[in-house]
Copies of this chain bind each other. A is one copy, B any other.
């Protein structure tokens, strides 16, 4: 499949006589797609039920006529100011009970059914008008769910919604009290209407209470998205897309993804580096103008799975952004590298964000492909290069990965709720495993926790999986590769209580977590074969084979030929050793890569990326900083 490039554009920001010139230059640059309209509700409907579609008609016509395919966004992340007059209580409320006010974006509560109806209404109106427009080739619903921490809201609407959800889920209040263990501190409820949201309690609330609220809140995101999807589908055959942000775990992306055709995400490699990705100060300085070398790949692989095989980058950082603590410029070449890395991981389209830097409002210091004065910014030429390279290179596919990693959002909520160690974080654990696999040169598929078939993989990692779903348990029971499960896996019920018998309860493997320790950064559990566990260590018991020990003689890994349980959180060097040993055993080839070099193998090619700020040599290939190389396999 030939890959394509696009760009995000805001015709409402510019004089109309500029649109055609912009469109022509987009096409000349080699761009195929243009995303528009996702923040323009106030221009479409300046007052309740007073519509102005004409400008949008003309914008689509102008862009389409120039040869661009339009992704049309629903503007529900930015309800106009008049919406608050209809629904004064639609604003989200933070955990401290403070209303989050109008004046920026995402000022709505997913639980507010009145606003959900409004979102459905504007989506239907857009779909009616543009559902068969020949230039509209895809739809984006809303924009970056949860951005600015908006999944959780502690509003009256959320309270009522949560009480209803609990009533439907548990049916009887006694069942809820028993499921949550409310006897513990006389926390029993007499009625669902007594149950408040789990914020601002004197000390920590019941973790089952919190987990239920997390599940409820995720369900509202799914419902909000589905409401719009239903409306658009009634009028349009074009694929539906949402643009997820990176490293967000507050809602179940697998569930949202099931209602859409394509998963896209917004990739800001440098914006994320300093405070949204773990790493030492030295690493962050080394990758300052490139971004973390595994962050983009992880999200490509994750969203490729969320999109069931269809993935885009909807927003690609082109230069300095405005919202990170510090905002340096990318190394020359990175805007090209990031695009090619996305393609190698299966992206169909990469859209740069944005066409022209806006001279006003919140993002006026966020670079685009053009400067505010319409002069080219550095990334424009790189985009043009990529466009040319796409045309010259044979079609790229993603290929079949030999290794899989299971990633679960419910577990993320559980461990947020009950970290037990201050630095335990689900994303961090999953990403640590992923990084180790990548450092060994492996291509990785990320799987949902309800996957029923592992047969394509020689090796499967399942760290931090609160529970094992029935389909996965069935798949594991007949699995012929090696599955490394743990740490902190299958040791809780889906109510975040301790199961009986205590877990893990792996099919055919006698191993039990007898005792759990969280480990401060000053300490570690040394392993007999070298390396150490950090953060987390479980004392294992049972009759299963011991595959490795701590220096004090406790099991580090236990299990059988196919299913093994990992007792701790390995540090990077130990993860590297484990990956290489398991790959050797499972017959998966690994590589030695220099610092900053990463590879991705597709069915036909090997892509090599240099994230280092220095030249690198590998496998006979020399790569400049930000260099990309591909070769046929």
A: which residues have CB within 8 A of B? 12-13, 39-43, 46-47, 75, 78-82, 92, 96-107, 147-148, 150, 180-190, 194, 196, 198-209, 274, 281, 284-285, 288, 319-320, 322-323, 325-329, 357-365, 367, 371-373, 375, 377-378, 418, 420-422, 495, 497-502, 514-520, 522-523, 539
- Taking CB atoms, residues of chain B closer than 8 Å to A196 are 101-103
Question: What is the CA–CA distance of A217 and B324 in the complex, to the nearest angstrom?
Answer: 28
Contact of A371 among B180, B322, B514 (CB under 8 A): B514
The reply to whether B101 and A201 form a contact with Cβ atoms under 8 Å apart is: yes
- Taking CB atoms, residues of chain B closer than 8 Å to A327 are 420-421, 517-518
Contact of A202 among B12, B107, B329 (CB under 8 A): B107
The reply to whether B189 and A81 form a contact with Cβ atoms under 8 Å apart is: yes
Chain B min CB distance to A75 (Å):
6
The reply to whether B186 and A359 form a contact with Cβ atoms under 8 Å apart is: no
The reply to whether B42 and A187 form a contact with Cβ atoms under 8 Å apart is: yes
Question: What is the CA–CA distance of A150 and B202 in the complex, to the nearest angstrom?
Answer: 8
Question: What is the CA–CA distance of A281 and B361 in the complex, to the nearest angstrom?
Answer: 38
Known: A188-B81, A358-B184. A200 touches B99 (CB 8 A): yes
Question: What is the CA–CA distance of A497 and B361 in the complex, to the nearest angstrom?
Answer: 7
Contact of A359 among B359, B373, B498 (CB under 8 A): B498
CB-nearest residue of chain B to A499: B359
The reply to whether A361 and B187 form a contact with Cβ atoms under 8 Å apart is: yes
- Taking CB atoms, residues of chain B closer than 8 Å to A499 are 359
Q: List 28 A-B contacts (CB under 8 A).
A: A39-B184, A42-B183, A43-B183, A81-B188, A81-B189, A96-B98, A101-B200, A101-B201, A103-B209, A104-B202, A104-B206, A105-B185, A107-B201, A148-B202, A180-B361, A184-B361, A184-B363, A206-B361, A208-B360, A284-B520, A285-B523, A327-B420, A328-B523, A359-B499, A360-B498, A371-B514, A371-B515, A378-B515
- Taking CB atoms, residues of chain B closer than 8 Å to A188 are 42, 46, 80-81
The reply to whether B47 and A201 form a contact with Cβ atoms under 8 Å apart is: no
The reply to whether B359 and A500 form a contact with Cβ atoms under 8 Å apart is: yes
Chain B min CB distance to A224 (Å):
16
CB-nearest residue of chain B to A275: B422
The reply to whether A190 and B47 form a contact with Cβ atoms under 8 Å apart is: yes
Known: A42-B186, A207-B364. A104 touches B201 (CB 8 A): yes
The reply to whether B325 and A520 form a contact with Cβ atoms under 8 Å apart is: yes
Contact of A498 among B194, B204, B329, B372 (CB under 8 A): B372
- Taking CB atoms, residues of chain B closer than 8 Å to A190 are 47, 81-82
CB-nearest residue of chain B to A196: B101
The reply to whether A520 and B326 form a contact with Cβ atoms under 8 Å apart is: yes
Given contacts A285-B520, A322-B420, 19 further A-B contacts (CB under 8 A): A42-B188, A75-B186, A82-B190, A97-B98, A99-B200, A102-B201, A103-B187, A104-B202, A105-B185, A181-B360, A185-B361, A207-B364, A284-B520, A319-B515, A326-B422, A329-B515, A360-B495, A360-B498, A364-B418
Question: What is the CA–CA distance of A456 and B150 in the complex, to the nearest angstrom?
Answer: 56
- Taking CB atoms, residues of chain B closer than 8 Å to A517 are 320, 327-329
- Taking CB atoms, residues of chain B closer than 8 Å to A373 are 500-502
Chain B min CB distance to A177 (Å):
9
Known: A202-B92, A202-B150. A285 touches B522 (CB 8 A): yes
Chain B min CB distance to A535 (Å):
9
The reply to whether A103 and B205 form a contact with Cβ atoms under 8 Å apart is: yes
Question: What is the CA–CA distance of A105 and B365 in the complex, to the nearest angstrom?
Answer: 40
The reply to whether A325 and B101 form a contact with Cβ atoms under 8 Å apart is: no
The reply to whether A207 and B326 form a contact with Cβ atoms under 8 Å apart is: no
- Taking CB atoms, residues of chain B closer than 8 Å to A199 are 101
CB-nearest residue of chain B to A539: B329
Chain B min CB distance to A32 (Å):
26
Question: What is the CA–CA distance of A110 and B39 in the complex, to the nearest angstrom?
Answer: 36
Question: What is the CA–CA distance of A202 and B100 in the complex, to the nearest angstrom?
Answer: 5
Question: What is the CA–CA distance of A98 and B93 in the complex, to the nearest angstrom?
Answer: 14
CB-nearest residue of chain B to A108: B202
Question: What is the CA–CA distance of A190 and B82 in the complex, to the nearest angstrom?
Answer: 8
Chain B min CB distance to A332 (Å):
10
The reply to whether A187 and B377 form a contact with Cβ atoms under 8 Å apart is: no
- Taking CB atoms, residues of chain B closer than 8 Å to A189 are 81
Q: Give 8 closest A-B pairs by Cβ, nearest first.
A: A181-B360, A184-B361, A42-B186, A359-B498, A103-B201, A78-B186, A326-B520, A181-B361
Question: What is the CA–CA distance of A357 and B181 in the complex, to the nearest angstrom?
Answer: 13
Contact of A515 among B105, B325, B377, B421 (CB under 8 A): B377
Question: What is the CA–CA distance of A329 and B107 in the complex, to the nearest angstrom?
Answer: 45
Question: What is the CA–CA distance of A364 and B103 in the complex, to the nearest angstrom?
Answer: 43
CB-nearest residue of chain B to A364: B498
- Taking CB atoms, residues of chain B closer than 8 Å to A422 are 325-326
Contact of A104 among B98, B204, B325, B497 (CB under 8 A): B204
